Structure 1
Amino acid sequence: MVRSPRTQQLLLGVLAVLLAVSGVAFASTAGAQVSWQQRDAIDIQATEFRVVDGDEPTVEATVEVRNPTSVPIVVRASGVVLYEAVAAEGNALSTPRSERLADGAATVGAGETATVTLVADLTPEDVEPTRTAIEEDRAVLSGSFLVEIRGRNAYVDV
């Protein structure tokens, strides 16, 4: 079948536009997929603990969040408990499900490291054992943080 040069140029132009649109869509999807796969590289570690006395005693943990991904993340506390020596039933010092970040949620920029404060309730009888565990370097933070990356949620263990 013989086509005119004008028809061939039009078809070539349409093909070029389709390739460009496909390339943009692929790049966008690939970037999101790489960010999602990097979620396992997010590192969360407790660096310091302190007991806050009062009518409703709490324990504060300074937590360092390292975000090596190429996009910002939002971090929230989710099931984090302070234990004495090992994370095991019967060793819990803080009240389970009472944990919260001091500022509610923390945004950590792409490639950045941020420090956040985790607060958890203590029962009056756990204040002294917690203080002792901190002084003797036997306090262990264990659980998960909820991390939102590109609109999707994942859990990062500490």
Structure 2
Amino acid sequence: MKSRFIFFFLISFGNCGNMVRMDCSTLRLGQYICPDPKYDLIDPKTEQLRGCRKDNKAEVQCIAIEEITCTETNKSTFFKELPCKWTNGYYFDTALLLSIFLGMFGLDRFYLGYPAIGLAKLCTLGFMFLGQLIDIILISTQVVGPADGSAYITPYYGPTVQVEAGFSGYT
């Protein structure tokens, strides 16, 4: 606790020109800055950070404040994992339009990778149009997504829906 106080005291008073060497993975918010994702960091095919993995994380180069030097790189730059949405080529707009106009034939479910439900909708004319209406609602609210567990491709700064698991009401 005493070393943290001394560290923050040195940082806040300019550290008299000395650099502090520390592990940059332990830096707190405000001790570093990661660049705002611009066109060079966003993959135009997926509209997510470049290098987004299946665990919904991407490595981005960040910069520590002037008084800190990272022990792992001997520079003030380091890599930090930021959240992203892994996508696998399924466009939200396409899924929704297929559901609205051709959902009675099950093409929305075939597109998303659910062939059994797509075949059932094809044989029953979209469960007598009731299944089509339900699928329009489920796809537009992004409750139903691609079968492989990936997210829809939507514009990076566009509207998206965050579905939080485990919500149990008021706390």
**Global fold match (TM > 0.5):** no
Larger radius of gyration: 1
Smaller-chain TM-score bracket: under 0.3
Between structures 1 and 2, the one with greater strand share:
1
Q: Which has the higher helix share?
A: 2
